[in-house]
Chain A
Amino acid sequence: MTARVGVVQFPGTNCELDVAWAVEQLGAQAELCWHGDATIRGADAVVVPGGFAHGDYLRTGALARFSPVMTAVSEFAAAGGPVVGICNGFQVLTEARLLPGALQKNAGLKFLCETVELRVETTSTVLTNACAPGQVLRVPINHFEGNYVCDDATLAELRADDRVVVRYVDNPNGSLDDIAGICNAARNVVGLMPHPERASDELLGSADGVVLLRSLLAAAAEGARLAS
């Protein structure tokens, strides 16, 4: 059965077609979900892709959570559906309080666009179920506000519950505890700054993002099977 991946599109999103292409290469069907429509169009998994949703006005991701589509995304997440936020999508999920903490400006105060190494810290999430524990992946980052920050209690909880999903091998942006991605308590909502879709073919310099996207499609297929 073909997994259907809803790819959310806000005004200012710019990675939605890359995500759609990457998941379609893996045999899934991508459905673009316009922010003004309060539906995820029957998707089995949702990706909130990168870009500059609503121009990043006020703060990165701050206004996106008021878009009607986010009501549908939140309901889907609450029901256990797999949701992944990439880059600006991660910022949107923190502002929507689907994930704790926030992303502040990079410690070096530079916009970073480079391929980095990520270590998979847990395979028990919708984005890493096909990975090997400790696996190192080469995946590009492309952000100014990627420096993850949260209070001490939240960090302790993330560590204790094994909710740091991927860490930077060589921290590029000052993120607390080298955090590149985290998940919610139910492990079905994941946010990360690196872009798996930009590492989805050898021609792009790395195909290491494929295992992450495959994990998401596996979670989508499992959810669809349980629902049917």
Chain B
Amino acid sequence: MAEFAAHVEVRHRPGIADPAGATVERALPALGYTNVTQLHIGKVIRLVVDAPDAGAARAQVEEMCERLLANPVIESYEIAVTALEPAT
């Protein structure tokens, strides 16, 4: 077993409102940044999971996303997994 750091980015699905992102995007032109579009504010969830290998770690994080970390009806997610120490 080894420790794997997982970085989960949860986003709104297309068509689902992102009021925080829209508001920040509207504020940026006041600072002179008039060329910014598609600003989105999602969530980042970081965690460490003890698993036999990176594949198993990813599979578990994916399952946790489906069951709790994201709501598949309104959110999508992206997972990045990195080994914290070499597996022995």
B16 touches A104 (CB 8 A): yes
Of the residues B68, B69, B74, contact of A104 by C-beta under 8 Å = B74
Q: How large is the interface on B (under 10, 10 to 19, 20 to 34, 35 or more residues)?
A: 10 to 19
Q: CA–CA, A16 to B39, complex, Å?
A: 39
Nearest opposing residue in chain A for B68, CB measure: A62
Q: CA–CA, A147 to B15, complex, Å?
A: 12
Of the residues B19, B22, B73, contact of A102 by C-beta under 8 Å = B73
Q: Is the interface of A mostly helix, strand, loop or mixed?
A: loop
Q: CA–CA, A149 to B68, complex, Å?
A: 18
**If A109-B17, A149-B16 touch, does A101 touch B73 (CB 8 Å cutoff)?**
yes
B17 touches A102 (CB 8 A): no
Q: Is the interface of B mostly helix, strand, loop or mixed?
A: mixed
> In the complex, what's the smallest C-beta–C-beta distance from A25 to chain B, in angstroms?
36
Chain A interfacial residues counted at CB < 8 A: 16
0/1 interface trace, chain B 46-88, chain A, CB 8 Å (1 if under): 0000000000000000000000110101110000000000000
Nearest opposing residue in chain B for A65, CB measure: B68
Residues on A with C-beta less than 8 A from B73 are 94, 101-102, 149-151
A105 contacts the other chain (CB 8 A): yes
Q: Which of A94, A95, A105 has the most CB of B within 10 A?
A: A105
Which A residues are closer than 8 A to B by beta carbons?
58-59, 62, 94-95, 101-102, 104-107, 109, 147, 149-151
Known: A94-B73, A109-B19. 16 other contacts (CB 8 A): A59-B75, A62-B68, A62-B71, A101-B73, A102-B73, A104-B12, A104-B16, A104-B74, A105-B17, A105-B19, A107-B17, A109-B17, A109-B22, A147-B17, A149-B16, A149-B73
Which B residues are closer than 8 A to A by beta carbons?
12, 16-17, 19, 22, 68-69, 71, 73-75
